[in-house]
Structure formats: structure tokens, C-alpha cells
Amino acid sequence: MSFAPSTEESSSALHFNFHQLPPHVPTEIAVKILQHWIEPESVMVESTILNGSEVLFTSYASPTDALVPTLPSHLQAEYWRLRQLSWLQSTKVFRTPSDFYMSHWLLSLDPASRLPDFDTAPYSLTRTYPSNSVAIDGMLNHRHPHLPYHGLERIELDFDASQYFALFNGA
């Protein structure tokens, strides 16, 4: 006896969307499904053009962000609520020292951020990227009334040995 889904069953599972949820499914269950549906997020620092000038844009993005318009309207707000809570509470994985350092530095420049200011920043950074060339994803600055976090309390550094030495100035 096989418990593997038939080709027909697995094909329909691949095309599942939230509009197929039966109307009697409690909201709490739909939210749990949504929570597990969200793909892993990552902190990114990208150079982009905004209002005709180059800026460094810091965001916390998930591949599922692009799919939010396809969700039923009552789940769209819930999606963004879950994403904001994820920003405030989850562990952020950094795979490059550049993303780690630059995201911390850029967020510290934003007056709306709860991240403490850097005492000093390398002269080359402050000269190359003056504070007017910084943009922060709005979700990163929304404060939660009951959570005093800035979002970068829990981090994981996933570097190779040379990247650790470069970050911590070892040779």
C-alpha cells in the first residue's frame, strides 16, 4: 500500500492557492497556513535609482512578497503583519560581511530606526554614501506598540573563514 500522492493529487497540490480554502476554515488555521507559506526572508542592501539619484536601499524581502496581490484581501493585511513580526523577532542570516555591515550602518543612520547609532563609521563609507543617499524599506521602521525591538537583535553569520577574517580585521 502506497501513501504517496497520485500524479493527479500532487499536481493539484502544486497549484494550491488561498482562494481554495473552504470558507468554514477558522481564521486561526488560515493564518497558520499563511505563516508556513511565507518563504524565508533576507536582509538586502542594494544600490538603486530613486527620484533620479543613486541610493543604497535596505530591505527585508521574501520571494512571496510578489504574490501578496493574489491572496484574498483579508489575508493580505495578515501577511504584512506576519512579515513585520518576522522582522522584529526572527533570526536574520547574513551570508556576506558587506550585507551585515552595510545593513547595520544604514539602519543606524535612519532617525526612525531603533538601532543604536554607530560611534564611528569608516571615512570611506561616509564619503561614498552620504546620509541623503540612503533609503530604508518602510516595514523596517514600523514600531510595534508592544515589542521594543529594532529587528537586528538576533543574527546568524554564515561566512567562510576569509570573510570572518575580513570582517573582524584579522589577517
171 residues of the chain, pLDDT tens digit each: 444 444 444 444 455 667 777 777 888 888 898 898 999 999 988 888 888 878 888 899 999 999 999 888 888 999 999 999 999 889 999 998 888 888 888 888 777 777 777 777 766 666 666 656 778 888 887 777 777 788 888 999 999 999 888 888 754
With beta carbons less than 8 A apart as the criterion, state whether 58 and 87 touch: no
Task: Report the predicted TM-score, pTM, of the whole model to 2 decimal places.
Answer: 0.75
**CA nearest 161: which of 152, 151, 153, 171?**
171
Contacts with 171 (C-beta within 8 Å, 6 or more apart), sequence order: 165
SS3 55: strand
Helix (H), strand (E) at residue 104: helix 97-109
3-state secondary structure at position 135? strand
Contact 93, 20 (CB under 8 A): no
Domain ranges of the chain: 41-167
